[in-house]
Structure 1
Amino acid sequence: MTAAALVVAALAAILHVYIFVMESVTWTSPRTRAVFGMSEEEAQTTRLLALNQGYYNLFLAIVTGAGIVATATGADAVGAALLYAGLGSMLAAAVVLVVSARDKARAAVMQGTLPLVAIVLLLLASTL
């Protein structure tokens, strides 16, 4: 069960690295603007906000990755703390997104499903 949790956690981290790239590197590109449904003017106006938000996503991915490494190398308590912090923050961000903008429910589900599944698997692994 722990191995499955770590695989899903890794997928969540990879997704958040991808979100980082979109928000902090390619924010004003036509493809990223299409994903977020923005005009070129909106993208230029929000570029610095997106840059900052992208780095938050990267940091969550790094914390989660560190938790995966710690758990895989036997530092279970440290690994669990890092995993719950990273994955819990990812899930909380998805909840904030859907609560604050109902029209972003699809994005929130995409952002929050992997962290939720990983957390459930970690909880199950810790009780078995």
Structure 2
Amino acid sequence: MLAAAMVLAGLAALVHVYIFWLESVVWMRPATRRVFRIASEDDARTTRALAYNQGFYNLFLAVVTVVGIVLLATGSTPAGAALVYAGSGSMVAAALVLVSGSRAYARAAAIQGTLPLLAVVALTAAVV
């Protein structure tokens, strides 16, 4: 079950690195604007600084999770589990905040939160 938790947490981290890429690197591209339903280049320009910042939050959650996975893989189970819980749990919490703001974001919240939720469940089953 620990291996499943690490794989799920790793996939969740990859999703969050991708979100970082969209929000912090390619925010102004038309394809990215379509993903986030940003109608105009002016709207994207207006929200660029906010998206840039938010993208880095996603990156930091991924980094914490990956460090936790590395620690788990090298036998440092307590520290690794704590970091995977912190990173993946924060991803789940962020998904809940996203959908609580508007039901229109339910799909995005599901994409953002399902893998880390499964990782938390698998990790709990593995370490209890």
TM value normalised by structure 1: 0.98
> For structure 1, which runs of at least 5 residues remain unmatched after alignment?
none
How many residue pairs get aligned? The number is 127
Counterpart Cα distance in 1 of 2:48 and 2:28: 7
Identity %: 62
CA drift at 1:126: 1.4
Counterpart Cα distance in 2 of 1:60 and 1:46: 21
Paired residue secondary structure (2:27): coil
- RMSD across aligned C-alpha pairs, in angstroms? 0.5
| Match of residue 6 from structure 1 | 6
Q: How does 1:44-123 map to 2 (within 5 A)?
A: 44-123=45-124
Structure 1 ranges of 4+ moved more than 2 A: none
CA drift at 1:106: 0.5
Counterpart Cα distance in 2 of 1:62 and 1:29: 25
Deviations 1:16-74 (A, max 9, x none): 00000000000010000000010211110000000000000000000000000000001
CA drift at 1:101: 1.3
CA drift at 1:7: 0.4
Counterpart Cα distance in 2 of 1:125 and 1:71: 11
